[in-house]
Amino acid sequence: MPRAAAIAAGLVVLAVVISTGLISSNQHVLTLIIQTMMLAALASSWNILGGFAGQISLGHAAFFGLGALVTRELWLNGMPLSLAVVAAVATTIVAAAVVGVPMLRFRDIYFAIGTLALGVAVFITAGNLWPGISSMPAEALRNYDFTGPYFMTLGVLVATVVVSLWLKHSKVGLGMMAVREDEEAATATGVNAFAHKMIAFVLSSALAALAGAAFAYFSVSYFPNFAFSVIWTFEAILVVFIGGVGTIVGPLLGSVFFIIGRDALPAEINEFQVVVFGVLFMVVVLLIPGGLTEASQRLYARTSRRKPPNAYESKATKGKELV
Please give the backbone phi and psi of residue 135, each rounded to the nearest 5 degrees, phi first: -120, 150
Mean pLDDT to the nearest integer, 149-173: 94
Radius of gyration, alpha carbons of the chain = 22
Of 19-33, 166-180, 246-260, 307-321, the least confident: 307-321
Judged against a pLDDT cut of 90, whether residue 10 lies above it is answered with: no
Calpha distance 92→305 (Å, rounded)? 48
Across the chain, mean pLDDT equals: 87
CA dist list (Å): 132 to 100, 221, 226, 259: 30, 10, 11, 28
Mean pLDDT to the nearest integer, 23-33: 91
**End-to-end Cα spacing for the chain:** 34
CA dist list (Å): 131 to 74, 75, 124, 134, 223: 17, 19, 10, 9, 7
Calpha distance 299→310 (Å, rounded)? 21
What are the residue ranges spanned by the domains of the chain?
3-230
> For residue range 285-298, what is the model confidence (pLDDT) as tens digits?
777 777 777 777 77
Instruction: Decide: 144 and 136 in contact? Cβ < 8 Å.
Output: yes
Calpha distance 278→235 (Å, rounded)? 10
Q: Angle CA(156)–CA(71)–CA(208) in degrees, nearest 5?
A: 40
Q: What is the pLDDT of residue 323?
A: 36
Torsion of CA 164, 168, 171, 172, to 10 degrees: 40
Q: What is the pLDDT of residue 318?
A: 41
Instruction: Decide: 228 and 126 in contact? Cβ < 8 Å.
Output: yes
Calpha distance 62→117 (Å, rounded)? 10
> For residue range 96-135, what is the model confidence (pLDDT) as tens digits?
999 999 999 998 899 999 999 999 999 999 999 998 888 8
Torsion of CA 168, 171, 174, 179, to 10 degrees: -140
Calpha distance 79→83 (Å, rounded)? 7
The H or E element containing residue 250 is helix 250-264
The H or E element containing residue 122 is helix 108-129
Amino acid at 128: N
> For residue range 230-269, what is the model confidence (pLDDT) as tens digits?
999 999 999 999 888 989 999 999 999 889 888 887 766 6
pTM of the model: 0.88
Q: Angle CA(50)–CA(200)–CA(173) in degrees, nearest 5?
A: 90
